[in-house]
Amino acid sequence: MQLNEKSKRILDVILHEKQMTVETLTLMLPYSRRTVEYELERIQEWLVANNLSNLKIEGVHIALDVTKELFDHVDQAEWVWSEEERELLIVLYALTNEEFLSAFHFQHLLDVSKFTVQESLNAVKKSAARFGIDFAYTRKHGYHFNGHFQTVTLYLYRTIEQLMDKSTKHQLLDLCLNEWQEQFDQIIDQIEQYEALKQFQFVEEHREKMAYFLLMGRHLDPDSFVRDEENALSENVERSVREYFQDVPHLWATLTMLIQSGPKVSEEMDEEIQQNLAQTMFEVIDRFEAFSCTRVIERVALCEKLVLHAKATLQRVYTEIMPPEELERYVMNEHGVLNVLVDKSLEPFRLQLGTDIPPTEVMYFTLHFAAHLHQQGQNLDEKMKAIVVCPSGISVSHMLDHILKNQFPEFVFLPPISQRDVQQFAPLVDLIFTTVPLPLTVQEQAHVTLVPTLPTRLEQLALKRQIGKRFLNTHELPSLQIEDVLEVIKHHATIHNEKQLRRDLKTMFQNEQRMDDWKGGQPVLNQLITKEEIRLGDRIPDWKESIRVAAKPLVENKSIDVSYIETMIENVEEHGPYIVLMPDVAIPHARPEDGVHQLGMSILKLDEPTMFPGDKPVRIFFVLAAIDQTTHLKALAQLTELLGNETDLSTVLAAKSSDDILEVINQYSEEEEK
């Protein structure tokens, strides 16, 4: 019995987890339960055939005793290649070998039947044709790729991108190239020297792709293909590229494209632009504080992160290279309200750019704010330490880091690291979350858990239960949401009317809407503001007294202490009238620790304005008492939308009763239909 790519991936997960369930495997890998169970039988047979420790399967639970001998056997195992692997192997072997290649050569290479080889050769011919390249057999040259050399080099790079997703990539390369690892390490050093010269770093994944491209591309013979005219790309290659990669002049043109378009960890930029960006990001933070009624702690640290990301945004916007759209699903599901507030806060950056910011770029900024708002407490020594390893780039690393921080607030997370730095940090932490397998030497220093790059809500629930049971001595699963149930239904059935199904599920989950319904979640606007929280008056000359009157309902319903009111007044005296967001509108607030007992909001509407310092008139006060950094954000986003509608705001300002105000508030208090 031999392993295939599926069983190899499953075995990799089990090797790194040591304990696993069938359910978690189906969540972490793109395989059905039946496929997983079948491949587990294959793995068990392979273990028995090689006299290795067996899988211990009890019900849905899987355990395996991991030894160095087992790791060695896995590295040296023979594989049954999948259809996609066979096609990759044919492409790479044909591009890197100059010998005459017949169907018999590939039949021997793949160890399959003549019929299977012919199917794979035909599939390669079709895929190459879509790229504008011919793959055919001639008596003189055997199987050979024909086309413009520049196109062939790009085809090689696209093939390498597919290879990177395979857990068997090293075994595939072993069949194409002899003793390639030492050459690969030298090329990595070569690229890193070039990075040092240019004062930037490629993200780890792109560096690795470039190294494989140079490793295999040096075997291409330009004279075997149609030579492009001596184009400007080749003639105008940068001097540093010529010097650092002088052994591969035929790859210079494509290599230059990969260098220019490749994602980088950070880039040097003009000092004046850097200073302007920093000033702009502080303005963004100021606006966010005003819109969210949240005081940002460690503003400089957040500003540095925003500036770093703004650099990448500048490059992507001006080169029209957009970030992946897979980000949208996660951000809009998990941080839709926060994304609205961040989007509004980014106006200074839009002015600096001179153009609009693509929605996906706004979402990256949202993740930076979300991660900062969820930073851990001060008792670091008493908590378990964790770290995230992700080679897919800084933005993806911070996304995954933020997701895991939300799931495991009990841990202190060190900043995300690259794969090559893991040996240095492993002794400092208890737990390593990684999107790629790590060496056994790392597992001996810290517990290693494999996770998807962007785990879905269900994957997060499974991970929460797994880690909670193992490290936190908890067994309960976090409460299910409607989206969780819908995701399971979509996985197994076709939904004909999702909107109605969502409503029916909502009815099941909530028979009646009470204040307790949003505990642990985010309430809508009219759940915070009822008739009891609204006051109307003619005129109050003193702005301090106006705040006291506006906040009185929150004292009466025990949401706040009187000290909270005085703190709001002191904040205005110290920082100026920052709570006046626009003419006639103020949102007084302070921090949760200044005297808040429960989340609340109250309204005071005056017929004549009260004047704040700086001659700022206010006729309506929305007093906010927040219990944390996020629970109030949905209601606040709805309030922000109301304030942005001049007609509805005028209706509120002209209201003669609490009912008139509530009628408008109710229009903005609907749960979003997704």
Q: How many CA atoms lie within 13 A of 135 on its CB side?
A: 25
Q: How many CA atoms lie within 13 A of 203 on its CB side?
A: 17
Helix (H) or strand (E) holding 103: helix 103-110
CA–chain centroid gap for 44, Å, is: 35
CA nearest neighbour of 399 among 465, 324, 319: 324
- C-alpha 55/C-alpha 52 separation (Å) is 9
CA nearest neighbour of 331 among 366, 361, 300: 366
Residues 6+ positions from 229 with CB-CB distance below 8 Å: none
CA nearest neighbour of 267 among 327, 200, 321: 200
How many degrees, rounded to 5, is the angle at CA 586 between CA 582 and CA 588?
145
What are the b/e assignments for 450-470, b being 16+ CB within 10 Å?
bbbbbbbbbbbbbbbbbbbee
How many degrees, rounded to 5, is the angle at CA 292 between CA 291 and CA 296?
110
- C-alpha 82/C-alpha 76 separation (Å) is 18
How many degrees, rounded to 5, is the angle at CA 420 between CA 417 and CA 422?
55
- C-alpha 388/C-alpha 372 separation (Å) is 16
Residues 6+ positions from 475 with CB-CB distance below 8 Å: 465, 468, 469
CA nearest neighbour of 343 among 361, 329, 317, 327: 361
Are the C-beta atoms of 15 and 43 separated by less than 8 Å?
no
- C-alpha 244/C-alpha 238 separation (Å) is 10
Could you give the C-alpha distances from 599 to 32, 35, 362, 501, in angstroms and in order? 44, 48, 28, 31
For the question of residue 597 being annotated catalytic, the response is no
Could you say which of 219, 589, 597, 632 is catalytic?
A: 589
- C-alpha 467/C-alpha 445 separation (Å) is 18
HEC string of 239-272 equals HHHHHHCCCCHHHHHHHHHHHHHCCEEECCCCHH
Listing DSSP states for 174-211 in one string gives: HHHSSSHHHHHHHHHHHHHHHHHHHT-EE-HHHHHHHH
Give the three-state DSSP class for 386.
Answer: strand
What are the b/e assignments for 607-636, b being 16+ CB within 10 Å?
eebbebeeebebbbbbbbbbeebbbbbbbb
Report residue 49 as tokens: 């055939």
Report residue 39 as tokens: 């491949």
The residues pairing with 101 across neighbouring beta strands, listed in sequence order, are: 142
Radius of gyration of the chain (CA): 30
Catalytic residues: 589
